Amino acid sequence: MIFHTIYKNNRTFAPLLTRFNNKMEIFREIGQLTCYLKNKRLNGKKIGLVPTMGAFHEGHLTLVKRSVKENDITVCSIFVNPTQFNNPEDLEKYPRNVDKDIEMLKANCCDVVFCPEVSTMYRKERIVQIRLGYLEEIMEGKFRPGHFQGVGLIVTKLLNIVKPDRAYFGLKDLQQFVLVKKLVEELNIDVEICGVPTVRNEKGLALSSRNERLSEREKEQALIFNRSLRLAQEMLKNGGKIKEVRDVILKNFQKDNSVKLEYFEIVDSETLRNIDSLNDCDNASLCIAGYVGKVRLIDNISIN
């Protein structure tokens, strides 16, 4: 067994192509990964991709487990993508724990880990941009300018490199999921995009790598997001009007100084466009985002 670990700096680590005892492969270079996967594909193996930025919690592992169940080979990418961070402090503070992530992937039967350096994924001079029309201007896009252009670019690159049969995304990031679906449709990328339901803690808080930065008190305060979504869902199911429901939720946030609401939207789950009535679409979603202390959180639930 060979274990190669190069410590580039004190925060990230960069393993070379390494074979661990459970046969999980770790690649840092694109050429080695594509060559390995080409062979697998020639042998008729189905490939599942789980793109991540690391700092795993049970939500990530749910994506990995689903891919392992549905494909012959599961590739998990770990890459904190700088182009999707509009706030440099958020990028700096984004939790990184590649050693622990790799152990978790091994324990969950992942086959391949791809953890490239930034210089491997991006040339110094880049001219290609991915624009996503109205989808990059609403909700998350409004508060995080440029975020979805970065997501679109890195997801397109990962899909082109791995060429998976299926790719798995958490539905907690509903806007990202909808946008990736549109992207692969419009660019004719031959992959099935699979959405995996949000995993929550016992109190209802949606699991997120950012939760690591919340104190115990802030974790309690953050429950207002899920409580508001469930209250709104209940009101709508009982015939409440969209405007009334919005007013109730917005007022609840005004009463609570510990949390700063950025948006609460009731949208068509397919297009993410605002609706005036539940009759406007087949399924509606309630989407919310805001700050607890310095940490920005998002959540959503579907009406059905």
Least distance in angstroms from the C-beta of 105 to ligand PAF: 14
Nearer to ligand PAF, 169 or 253 (CB): 169
Least distance in angstroms from the C-beta of 155 to ligand PAF: 6
Whether 3 contacts 24, CB under 8 Å: no
The answer to the question of residue 301 lying near ligand PAF (CB under 6 A) is: no
Nearer to ligand PAF, 102 or 154 (CB): 154
Let me know if 147 is a catalytic residue.
Answer: no
Whether 47 contacts 41, CB under 8 Å: yes
Q: Which residues fall within 8 angstroms of residue 239, CB to CB, at 6 or more apart? A: none
Cα–Cα distance measured from residue 265 to residue 272, given in angstroms and rounded to the nearest whole number: 9
* Strands of the 284-292 sheet, one edge to the other: 259-268, 284-292, 295-302
Whether 277 contacts 243, CB under 8 Å: no
Whether 59 contacts 199, CB under 8 Å: yes
The answer to the question of residue 84 lying near ligand PAF (CB under 6 A) is: yes
Nearer to ligand PAF, 51 or 290 (CB): 51
Least distance in angstroms from the C-beta of 57 to ligand PAF: 11
Selected range binding ligand PAF among 10-18, 47-55, 135-143, 225-233, rule: CB under 6 A: 47-55
139: left (phi over 0), alpha (psi -120 to 50) or beta: left
Least distance in angstroms from the C-beta of 257 to ligand PAF: 30
Q: How many residues belong to the site for ligand PAF (CB under 6 A)? A: 10
Phi, psi of 140 (to 5 degrees): -55, -40
Cβ-based neighbour number of residue 94 at 10 Å: 18
Cα–Cα distance measured from residue 156 to residue 122, given in angstroms and rounded to the nearest whole number: 13
The answer to the question of residue 81 lying near ligand PAF (CB under 6 A) is: yes
Least distance in angstroms from the C-beta of 50 to ligand PAF: 9
The answer to the question of residue 97 lying near ligand PAF (CB under 6 A) is: no
Site string for ligand PAF, 146-165 (x = CB under 6 A): -----x--xx----------
Whether 206 contacts 226, CB under 8 Å: yes
The answer to the question of residue 198 lying near ligand PAF (CB under 6 A) is: no
Nearer to ligand PAF, 163 or 246 (CB): 163
- Tokens, residue 40: 């697998």
Catalytic residues: 60
- Residues interacting with ligand PAF, by CB under 6 A? 51-53, 81, 84, 151, 154-155, 173, 176
